[in-house]
């Protein structure tokens, strides 16, 4: 009988020529368990997905209850489904007042696609501006506005009338003009290595969009749901976009994405033509039930406060000569090393140290620490100890 490892290589489409090939048969809290009893501390949360940890009992209960009621019923938008409407109401209640309407899809990439269409439909314009080293997904349209040529050049020609400008570069904002449908930006650039806006950069973009009649779109796929020490980055920076894109932690571990806007803007997808945007499985009732339960845990258990406390503890205790800088707030942290050659070693050998770590797509000198927001102080300190031991191994074994 072939092993799961062999079947993985033989039958699954691969994303790289060197996958991690770590087999997991169970996950709970902040821990992943292998088939032979191996135990790994998850310091990436499925890339900011499992904010309430793996298999949180309240999330699991919500999933089981919904499975007992019904699964997929009909293409999104036709039948009233309690998990969808209740979750949409909860999300809108936690956001600025202009967010009155939520369109559920399946993923962050799909939410970006919907946001792009919505901006074009509402404004009647075509130009979309995004930022260098910004990441918005892997679908054709999302790839068109991604800000790194390495990942997009092989798939050209892509969507026309897109333009990338530089993050934190005020001079480049002149590109926002009367032909601009929208500006799409991560309020914190995640895959660039956790880069924060400087000197009211987001506020200046907001002002220019308002002046030119362009919509401002925030991609909070990674920053949402407490990840940076605020429930949403909108709170952190005090800048309100016209469209908000959510995914990853939105589903509490289940696949779910969404874009939100005002009733006025969102309504334009419902006429001329009808079904201006459509999805079969968007807002799947099980995913919505899981996501709503997860968000209630984040709020009720004050996980945003815990996120801040744990972040401070990591910064205080994660010290090693190979660490050049720790960027970020909350539990979206970039650990920049003195030599980029160490990063590959650290990520690849992390399982040997009982850890799961990850790269950034557009920053090869840093690795990511983004554990579930449920992580305890003791678990975080254990993680720091293991990371330091891994860094010691990197310094000894990597030839510079």
For 63-72, what is the mean pLDDT?
A: 98
All domains of the chain, ordered by start, with CATH? 4-55+302-397 (3.90.1150.10), 57-300 (3.40.640.10)
Residue with more model confidence, 36 or 382: 382
Strand 323-327 versus strand 215-219 pairing type: unpaired
Contact present, 161 and 126 (Cβ < 8 Å) = yes
User: d(Cα 209, Cα 204) in Å, to the nearest integer?
Assistant: 9
Which uninterrupted H or E stretch holds 243? strand 243-246
User: d(Cα 124, Cα 179) in Å, to the nearest integer?
Assistant: 9
* SS3 label, residue 241: coil
Q: In terms of DSSP H, where are the helices of the chain?
A: 4-11, 45-48, 57-69, 82-93, 108-123, 140-144, 201-212, 233-237, 263-266, 285-300, 303-317, 340-349, 377-397
- Work out the angle between the directed axes of helices 340-349 and 377-397 (0-180°, nearest 10): 120
Predicted confidence at residue 277, as pLDDT, reads 95
24-48, pLDDT tens digit by residue?
999 999 999 999 889 999 999 999 9
For 385-392, what is the mean pLDDT?
A: 98
User: d(Cα 272, Cα 268) in Å, to the nearest integer?
Assistant: 8
For 256-264, what is the mean pLDDT?
A: 98
User: d(Cα 174, Cα 165) in Å, to the nearest integer?
Assistant: 10
Q: Is the pLDDT of residue 15 over 90?
A: no
For 104-131, what is the mean pLDDT?
A: 98
Handedness of CA 228, 230, 231, 232 (dihedral sign): negative
Predicted confidence band at 160 (pLDDT cuts at 50, 70, 90)?
very high
343-379, pLDDT tens digit by residue?
999 999 999 999 999 999 999 999 999 999 999 999 9
Predicted confidence at residue 400, as pLDDT, reads 83
The percentage of the chain sitting over the pLDDT mark of 70, rounded to a whole number, equals: 100
Predicted confidence band at 19 (pLDDT cuts at 50, 70, 90)?
confident
Contact present, 261 and 101 (Cβ < 8 Å) = yes
Average pLDDT, the chain: 97
Contact present, 103 and 269 (Cβ < 8 Å) = yes
Predicted confidence at residue 383, as pLDDT, reads 98
For 72-96, what is the mean pLDDT?
A: 97
Predicted confidence band at 136 (pLDDT cuts at 50, 70, 90)?
very high
- Preceding omega of 321 cis (within 30 degrees of 0): no
Predicted confidence band at 194 (pLDDT cuts at 50, 70, 90)?
very high
Contact present, 340 and 365 (Cβ < 8 Å) = yes
- State residue 229 phi and psi, 5-degree precision: 95, 5
Predicted confidence at residue 18, as pLDDT, reads 85
For 384-391, what is the mean pLDDT?
A: 98
Predicted confidence at residue 222, as pLDDT, reads 98
Residue 12, C-beta contacts closer than 8 angstroms, at least 6 positions apart: none
Predicted confidence at residue 17, as pLDDT, reads 87
DSSP 8-state class, residue 54: B
229-257, pLDDT tens digit by residue?
999 999 999 999 999 999 999 999 999 99
For 266-280, what is the mean pLDDT?
A: 95
């Amino acid at each position: 009988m072939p092993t799961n490892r062999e079947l993985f290589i033989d039958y699954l489409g691969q994303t790289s020529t060197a996958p991690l090939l770590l087999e997991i048969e169970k996950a709970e809290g902040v821990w992943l368990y292998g088939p032979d009893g191996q135990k790994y501390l998850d310091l990436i949360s499925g890339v900011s997905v499992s904010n309430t940890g793996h298999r949180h009992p309240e999330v699991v209960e919500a999933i089981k209850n919904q499975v007992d009621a019904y699964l997929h019923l009909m293409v999104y938008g036709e039948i009233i489904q309690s998990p969808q409407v209740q979750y949409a109401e909860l999300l809108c209640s936690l956001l600025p007042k202009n967010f009155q309407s939520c369109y559920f899809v399946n993923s962050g990439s799909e939410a970006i696609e919907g946001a792009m269409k919505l901006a074009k439909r509402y404004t009647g314009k075509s130009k979309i501006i995004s930022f260098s080293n910004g990441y918005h997904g892997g679908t054709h349209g999302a790839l068109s506005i991604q800000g790194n040529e390495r990942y997009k050049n092989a798939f050209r020609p892509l969507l026309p009338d897109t333009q990338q400008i530089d993050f934190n570069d005020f001079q480049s904002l002149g590109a926002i003009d009367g032909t601009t449908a929208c500006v799409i930006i991560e309020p914190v650039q995640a895959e660039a290595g956790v880069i924060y806006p400087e000197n009211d950069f987001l506020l200046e973009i907001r002002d220019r969009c308002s002046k030119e009649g362009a919509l401002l779109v925030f991609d909070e796929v990674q920053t949402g749901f407490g990840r940076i020490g605020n429930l949403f980055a909108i709170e952190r920076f005090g800048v309100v976009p016209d469209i908000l894109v959510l995914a990853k932690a939105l589903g509490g571990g289940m696949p779910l994405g969404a874009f939100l806007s005002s009733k006025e803007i969102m309504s334009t997808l419902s006429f001329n033509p009808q079904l201006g945007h459509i999805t079969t499985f968007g807002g799947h009732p099980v995913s919505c039930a899981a996501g709503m339960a997860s968000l209630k845990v984040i709020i009720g258990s004050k996980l945003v406060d815990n996120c801040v406390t744990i972040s401070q503890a990591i910064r205080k205790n994660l010290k090693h000569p190979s660490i050049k800088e720790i960027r970020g707030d909350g539990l979206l942290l970039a650990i920049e090393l003195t030599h980029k050659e160490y990063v590959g070693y650290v990520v690849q050998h992390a399982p040997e140290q009982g850890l799961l770590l990850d790269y950034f797509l557009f920053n090869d000198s840093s690795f990511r620490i983004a554990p579930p927001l449920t992580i305890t102080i003791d678990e975080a300190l254990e993680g720091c100890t293991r990371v330091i031991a891994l860094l010691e191994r990197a310094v000894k074994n990597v030839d510079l």
